[in-house]
Amino acid sequence: MQLSIQNPISTYLIYVCTFCAVEIGTLLSCGCLSLLVRYMLVPNVSWQTTLNFNFDTICHSGVQPVNNMCSFPSTEFDLTIGGSPVFTYGHPYSIVSDFYIPDSPKNNLAGMNILTLELLDEGGNCSRKFRRSFSVPYRSTLVRFTSRLLLLLLHVTRVVDEELHILVELASGYQDYQAPPIVRGRVTMESRELIWTRASIRLDAHLTGLRSWLYYWPWFTFFVLTSSSFIFVNILYLLMVISQTFWPLLSLNSDEPAPRTVRRRPLVSCPPSESLGEPVESINPHNIPPDTQTDLMEPN
């Protein structure tokens, strides 16, 4: 009696443990699938580096130095993250350069300036070139004096520097379709009149649709993708169980042949056989003489 009670309980526990293991494995697989989808769809969204310009200080061929510069300041930088290119293939990017220049009369008289960006591949060849002109925002003497007077305490304590922020947009929707990937960049300031304190360049990806949801709301999209895929897989499990449990029974019922009606034939008395020692005669149920029988069969 105890064995008969323990067997159903152990079988039930085995079923419950198997079900829980399958569900936990399915949930973990759906979570890994959601992470893989985010990794494949979301590109390198933001990247920034500092620009350290170099220039010649020794002038040749009678070139006069301007601000101690005999050539246009230029710098090169890497466009890789961990050995892989920053640009995601076929995805649009905006390229922006930031300059912080002192708010001085000399910079206000610098006039127009040109900033050049060259994108280089692994062989050092220029794949794309961007040139943008910009100038220092005009500020009158009265405006500069008023702003300095209002921010005098912050300027003295060095909380706020006396400088202007200039933003130069080099590209608004650049897409990298180059077969050799772009791994380096070169920035050249085609001016010797402008003086700046620091400069940087950054890349920002344009995210739309599902990519923006995956990047800006990662936990929400992770929950939605994981739960939806988990429900879908459980529906497949349910359909599989139904097909394995009920479909064979339905197929067996449909394959059974229909009952056949058997029509019984009337029993006919067999003549005595020769095994009994009697000669076999023709069947003559009415005992008609042979001569009469032949006469009846002849035509008139």
**Percent of the chain whose predicted confidence (pLDDT) is above 70:** 80
The pTM (predicted TM-score) of the whole model is 0.66
What is the reported pLDDT for 107? Answer: 87
> Could you give the CA distance from residue 23 to residue 223 in angstroms, rounded to a whole number?
16
For 76-95, the pLDDT digits (tens) are: 999 998 888 898 888 899 99
Q: Is 259 helix (H, G, I), strand (E, B) or coil?
A: coil
**Percent of the chain whose predicted confidence (pLDDT) is above 90:** 32
Which band of pLDDT confidence, cut at 50, 70 and 90, is reported for residue 248? low
Q: Which helix (H) or strand (E) holds 180?
A: none
Query: What is the bridge-based pairing of β-strands 80-81 and 163-175?
Result: unpaired
pLDDT greater than 70 at residue 283: no
Burial of 54 (0-12, 13-18, 19+ CB in 10 A): exposed
CA-closest candidate to residue 103, choices 53, 50, 166: 166
Query: Which residues are CB-contacts of 243 (< 8 A; sequence separation ≥ 6)?
Result: none
Average pLDDT value over all residues in the chain: 81
In the chain, the domains with their CATH numbers are: 45-209 (2.60.120.660)
Alpha-carbon dihedral sign for residues 102, 104, 106, 107: positive
**What is the distance in angstroms between the CA of the first residue and the CA of the last residue of the chain?**
94
CB contact burial 62-91 (16+ within 10 A = b; e otherwise): eeeeeeebbbebbbeeebeeeeebbbbeeb
Q: Any idea what DSSP says for residue 121? A: E
pLDDT greater than 50 at residue 269: yes
Question: Do the beta carbons of residue 193 and residue 105 sit within 8 Å?
Answer: no
Question: Do the beta carbons of residue 197 and residue 158 sit within 8 Å?
Answer: no
Please give the residue that has the higher pLDDT: either 151 or 278: 151
Alpha carbon separation from 297 to 64, 283, 286, 290 (Å, rounded)? 150, 16, 15, 11
